Structure 1
Amino acid sequence: MRLLTLEFACLLAAAAPISVAAQYTWKNVKFGGGGGFVPGIVFNPTQKGVVYARTDIGGLYKLNSDDSWTPLTDAIAHDKTWHIKRHNWGVDAVATDPIDPARVYAALGMYTHSWDPDNGAIARSSDGGATWSTFDLPFKVGGNMPGRGMGERLAIDPNNNHIIYFGARSGNGLWKSTNQGQSFEKVTSFTSVGTYVADPNDSSGYNSDIQGLAWIEFDSTSALVGGATSRIFVGVADKGESVFYSEDAGQTWSAVPNQPQGFLPHKGKFQPSEKALYLTYSDTSGPYDGGNGTVQRFDIASSTWTDITPVSGEDLFFGFGGLALDMQKPGTLMVVTLNLWWPDAQIYRSVDSGKTWSVIWEWGAYPDRTLYYDYSTPKAPWIITSRGADDTKELGWMIESLEINPLDSNHWLYGTGLTIYGGHDLTNWDTTHKVTIESLADGIEETSVQALASVPGGPALLSATGDVGGYTHDNDLTKSPEVAWINPSYATNTGVDYAGNKPQSAVRVGNSGSEGNQIAVSSDGGKTWAELQGGVAGTSGGKVALSADADSALWSASSGVVVVRSGSQSQVTSLPTGAAIASDKRNGTVFYAGHGNRFFLSVDSGSTFTSVSTLGSAQAVRDVVVNPTLAGDVWVSTDDGIFHSTDYGKTFKKTDKSVTDAYALALGKGPGKYWNVYGVISRNGSPIELFMSNDTGKNWNKIQGTRGFGAAGGIFLAASKDTSGLVFVGTNGRGAFYGLPG
């Protein structure tokens, strides 16, 4: 007997019986540890407890009093074009108002090149992110572009909160608003555009775009000019002159004299009591790289620079990212390595304005280290349990955000490429030299889901994810997994499936960038895994289907379609690369595939395929799913709608002519004799959204509500075969959601 959590039981009791008009409630499947890069964390300087974290593909979050986080931008990621883009989940900058702490601003947009079709926007909230207004910009914003950890590119005048500056990418320069972000005008007197590019030879535009302005910082102690703060600093992504200032509230600008060159200024922060600007530099823009750097202090009164880099010589082989100032203790600051890949990141702390530094760990008798911290991840156990035996990294990588609470010297947070770490005993560093570090990303769900499967009689969900592997989720979806998929570990798992007649048997495929075997199998419902012998090194990525009897796996990999059996792998020459695939869940010799407008059938366990039918006027097959209990019952989504066959795909019938476009599909337990069919579809040309049918596709009911799931092509569906109405939605940026009626 399968046990349900109390929450599940209540939801199911309230929901039964399910009707066609049922409304769905959506919640995140809990990963618990973030699962992606957090490039920026911003504390409000005047109101305790107001803290925001921006992510590159998962939107904006706000800190709660219990150290958890609440997502803020889901509602504005749902608009008439949500199905084409996840545009508003890319956050390139955030600013919290020091005068009116309820006000917060975010620069939204994912990419500055062709991957994002639309210009960026400034989002403004006057109620702490509960509701938003958005104002379009005349250029694109790059929340997931190179250099996204530099910042913040948005800044509010601390003496006049009607004035906001924004530093743009792509050569668009500096922009200013005088009406609290409702409109911006270009500051034509600021002529530096930040010409650094990561790779000028990248033809895609991703690494070859100008990275632009990096951050804006006000000297809050300077005189007012026309009601505005007079002294402003701007850092740009340029290895020449990269730090500029104005003494007349932005009317004229000059390069700061005698500044360091040859580096990019990642962070610039002003300490009002010292009247000093602190800066961290790296020789690249990050977030993945950096081989050299420096830390500098600029004294405003004397206009002098002091090199306060914590290390030098052969010990300096990394750049610096995060920079934190303790506003309660002038002269106390911290900096961190941007990327120190071995043995771990290093965090430096100074209590004398950078004259001397202490570290969070140091070498003992090699290879031993002395650690000045206690480390735990109770909110996301998989962070520790899934780390390889040879992986010494605990503190993280891609560390661009490092912050000390300006109103509480003990509270600190920093973002990594995986999660948010921090604690509440930071001042112990200066006494016992021992602090507590914990994963504090509970509620931040920015995982990129690549595939989902729900196993009958087994775990509620198998989730293949990007960068952080994949997970087996118990029936309690509110609990973080104890361990990620390991032995073998793939940085990214791209496909997962189970065997219909042996549902405890599962298969997954990955794309870790290595040359090893990238296909693994489980015989215990995804609890443990082993490499599937016979997989050929170099085959990777794509999707996978496991035969009903678990004796063969069809793999639509990036290099073509192969079939893998214990001890051998062979190319399937009768299928085109990129074909959508599925296995029949009852007939162990049958596999299905679709490509273009053709449907293919194999009756010899995937060795050969025959084109057996065409699918209307379709030009693209998006998904192929099968009835979990009935052989030969197969469903196909295309750009011409949904097609259904009951004879192994030899003939198809279009389910509903009003469905004009379809992406992900799933079949799950329904309230009556039919399986629920879930589809990401367009009806009569309307915006693509998530619908459900419980009468084999004759009628459809929208169940998405106001929930945004991002780009339609990046959505994956799975549905429970055991719990009526339970459906899962995987997104590219906000993790996985589960929905139940009620």
Structure 2
Amino acid sequence: MSSFPNPGNYVPDPNDTSGYSSDNQGILWVTPDPTRRTIYVGVADKENILYRSTDAGATWERVPGQPTGYLPHKGVLDHVGGFLYLATSDTAGPYDGGRGEVWRLNTGTGEWARITPDPNGGWGYSGLTIDRQNPTTLMVATQISWWPDTVFFRSTDRGATWTRAWDFLGWPDRANRYDIDISESPWLTWNSTPAPPEQAPKLGWMTESVEIDPFDSDHLLYGTGATVYGTDNLTDWDAGGTVHISVRARGLEETAVQDLISPPEGAHLLSAVLDVGGFVHTDFTRPGTMYANPTISSTTSLDFAGLAPAVIVRSGNGNAPRFGISTDGGTTWTPAATEPPGVSGGGTVAVGADGSRTVWAPGGAPVSWSADGGATWTAAAGVPQGATVESDRVDPARFYAVAGGVFYASADGGATFAATPATGLPAEGNVRFKALPGKAGDVWLAGGNATSGVYGLWHSTDGGASFTRLSNVDEADAVGFGKGGNIFITAKVRGVRGIFRSADAGRRWQRINDDRHQYAWTGAAITGDPRVYGRVYLATNGRGSSTASRRMYLCRLNNKKEGSEN
């Protein structure tokens, strides 16, 4: 509104050119008083953090006597008792915060009281909530205590005294007022067994949002950097009991999937996922544990051997080792003993059709090959660093790569590559390609961008020596294959964006989603299931892995008279 006097001035990093940390944080929160025309506003200005209007926003004043020097992460009003609570930190977070305070304002008298639970804790404060059924009770979370754990503080006397969610018994032991059930998300330990006082799973981190149910004093929800936790017996805290915390994120999905494979034996689906590594999906109704040995925080690429599908390789971002190989379909893994010099990221990885050779195009290092499961690596010749690599599904000696609009092929297990004569391929945008199972030298490539004008779907039957662009596909981002010759693409066909299936080698395409089933960016990966006709798996950026069956999408489309079986 035009009458507000201060848009804020705090910029986390003025030198950040990405825009992620160089924007003014502006207005941080707005808290109205439901009983009158008063509104409180928190501002990202360390010297002027709080403003108030008593005429529904027509005019504003800087609240007198307010604390300065920190940012007001949260402001919560107890309109019954007449108190405003502030949680402040020295940074905008959510990844950092070294100091902060908690304050209470008597809105009737204008008196301020500093009620910081631990003034010397080495953290700021963020998540803040009051119990609407008993408004003398409030809770606040640290911002941010990465190690050994986040801390929740609880007060039943408006902040005069506090108790902690956990306390030290004597270094390094600690006593928790809670237990945590992660059976709904068993990967929340990140495969770690930390030394005390750190524990797995953690109580939380990045706990910016904490809320006591206004209708139920026992019900609490809070967000972390990984999930939503909750409890239904919060008030047992005050009587010295144990608060039972569990995952409350069923039906909420935020994972960014980078790659998918569906081998012809073993688990039907394996995923490569940022932040939580990825999974061998043995049960589509329940989450599993993330990949281990090595635990790669963000898996970027997966592949299986076309003729020996129990051999699976994966690579990803994080600390070394960033490569793992399995010979039992992902049940167990062995980390690479070494990495090519200079590796900084996972890049893409491919395993030969018989499982004997691996080609890895990691971030920060040359494309390299290994014939011993990653014990040793040798730089490949003739292919540029940063290329995307894939393997032929039939010929163990053949590997392929693409970079900058040039297609490369290897006939000696990835030791040497040569640029093929193929022309007209996209040099910009996201480019992904796959080799067709069962036919040596059959390659499909999707990608490009609208800016360059080179954006679509291409097909090669001669190992990439030449490609033909499919004229009936306007744009394509990813391609995959299923049982019975099914080809799946995430694409634009006849001017319509969607997920499409072809059962006749791309001559005709059927849209298998509709306008009510959209998934934002779906260009990272798509694959059919080689054992279930018509089943498809789709990678999304923030909505996890989705699956659909032939019966599901044909029923939906036929009910809308939008398509029929090809």
Please give the TM-score of this superposition, normalised by the length of structure 2: 0.91
- State the shift of 1:646 in Å: 2.2
Q: Does 1:534 align with 2:338?
A: yes
Note if 1:219 corresponds to 2:27.
Answer: no
Verify: 1:456 aligned to 2:260, yes or no.
no
Q: Find the counterpart in structure 1 of residue 488 from structure 2.
A: 678
Among candidates 486, 497, 500, match of residue 303 of structure 2:
497
CA distance in 2, matches of 1:338, 1:561: 40
Change (3 A) 1:363 1:470: same
Change (3 A) 1:638 1:372: closer
Describe the superposition over 1:392-447 as per-residue Cα deviations: whole angstroms up to 9, x where unpaired.
Answer: 25201000010100000011100000001111001111113321011111111110
Hey, what does 1:288 align to over in structure 2?
A: 95
Aligned partner letter, 1:688? R
Structure 2: where are the runs of 5+ without partners? 449-454, 552-566
User: Shift in Å at residue 623 of structure 1?
Assistant: 1.3
Q: Give per-residue Cα distances to partners, 1:252-297, cap 9 Å, x unaligned.
A: 1111111111111111011122111111111001111100111111
* Offset from partner CA, 1:602-633 (integer Å, 9 cap, x none): 01111111112324364347111111222222
What is the aligned-residue RMSD (CA, Å)? 1.7
Residue in structure 2 matching 1:309, options 83, 100, 116: 116
Query: Which of residues 385, 404, 411 is equivalent to 1:577?
Result: 385
Partner of 1:364: 169
Of 258, 271, 279, the match for 2:65: 258
Distance, in Å, in 1 between the alignment partners of 2:76 and 2:341 is: 48
The one-letter code sitting in structure 2 at the alignment partner of 1:517 is P
* Percent identity between the two aligned chains: 40
Matched-pair contact (CA < 8 Å) for 1:644–1:652: yes
Alignment partners' CA distance in 1, 2:432 and 2:425: 16
The answer (yes or no) to whether the contact 2:483–2:534 under 8 Å persists in 1 is yes
Shift of 1:580: 2.6
The residue aligned with 1:652 is: 467
**Kept after mapping to 2: 8 A contact 1:679/1:691:** yes
2: CA distance, partners of 1:532 / 1:541: 13
Between stretches 630-639 and 414-423, larger displacement belongs to 630-639
Equivalences for residues 310-329 of structure 1 within 5 A: 310-313=117-120, 316-329=121-134
Gaps spanning 5+ residues in structure 1: where?
Answer: 1-186, 223-229
SS in 2 for 1:281: strand
**What is the aligned partner in structure 1 of residue 19 from structure 2?**
205
Compute the displacement of 1:373 (Å): 0.9
Q: Which residue of 1 aligns with 2:396?
A: 588
Q: Structure 2: how far apart are the matches of 1:306 and 1:726?
A: 62
Task: Please say if 1:442 is aligned against 2:250.
Answer: yes
Task: Indicate the larger mover: 545-554 or 317-326.
Answer: 545-554
Cα 1:538–1:299, aligned 2, differ >3 Å: closer, same or farther?
Answer: farther
Alignment CA distance shift 1:617-1:448 (3 Å): closer
Summarize deviations over 1:481-524 as a string: whole Å, max 9, x none: 1x111221121111111111211111111111x3x231111111
Give, in whole Å, the separation in 1 of the partners of 2:166 and 2:408. Answer: 59
How many residues matched?
536
The whole-number CA distance in structure 1 between the counterparts of 2:109 and 2:156 is 21
**Whole-angstrom distance in 1 between the partners of 2:142 and 2:135:** 22
- Structure 1 contact 278–297 (Cα < 8 Å) conserved: yes
How far off its partner does 1:557 sit? 2.2
Residues 312-711 of structure 1 correspond to what in structure 2 (within 5 A)? Answer: 312-313=119-120, 316-384=121-189, 386-390=191-195, 392-393=199-200, 394-474=202-282, 476-481=283-288, 483-512=289-318, 514=319, 516-536=320-340, 538-539=342-343, 540-565=345-370, 566=372, 567-616=375-424, 618-620=426-428, 622-639=431-448, 640-654=455-469, 656-670=470-484, 675-684=485-494, 686-706=495-515, 707-711=517-521
SS at match of 1:463: strand
Map Cα deviations across residues 712-737 of structure 1 (whole Å, 9 max, x no partner): 54x32122111111111111111110
Question: Do 1:561 and 1:573's aligned partners in 2 also have CA atoms closer than 8 Å?
Answer: no
Paired residue secondary structure (1:429): helix
Preserved contact between residue 14 and residue 22 of structure 2 (Cα < 8 Å) = yes
Distance in 1 (CA, whole Å) between partners of 2:83 and 2:437 is 66
State which of 539, 546, 549 in structure 2 corresponds to 1:737: 546
Q: Distance in 1 between matches of 2:396 and 2:366?
A: 19
For the 8 Å contact 1:310–1:356, the answer to whether it is kept is yes
Q: Return the letter of the residue paired with 1:544.
A: V
Encode CA deviations 1:170-202: one digit per residue, 9 max, x unaligned: xxxxxxxxxxxxxxxxx2111211111111101
Bigger RCO of structures 1 and 2 (CA < 8 A, at least 6 apart): 1
Residue in 1 aligned with 2:559? none
- For each residue in 1:627-655, what CA deviation from the matched residue of structure 2 results, as whole angstroms up to 9, or x when unmatched? 1222222111243422222222223333x
Of 64, 69, 86, 1:279 maps to 86
Question: CA, structure 1 residues 414+638, in 2 after alignment: closer, same or farther (shift >3 Å)?
Answer: closer
Residues 589 and 606 in structure 1, CA contact (< 8 A), matched pair in contact too: yes
Q: In the TM superposition, what is the alpha-carbon distance from 1:601 to its structure 2 partner?
A: 0.8
Matched letter for residue 537 of structure 2 = F
Counterparts of 2:20 and 2:354, CA distance in 1: 44
1:359-398: CA deviation from partner (whole Å, max 9, x where unpaired): 1110012111111112111212222473344452520100
* CA shift in 2, pair 1:504/1:561, >3 Å: same
Tell me if structure 2 keeps the 8 A contact 1:449–1:735: yes
- Alpha-carbon distance between aligned partners in 1 of 2:397 and 2:124, rounded to the nearest angstrom: 55
- Structure 1 window deviating more from structure 2 (594-603 vs 362-371): it is 594-603
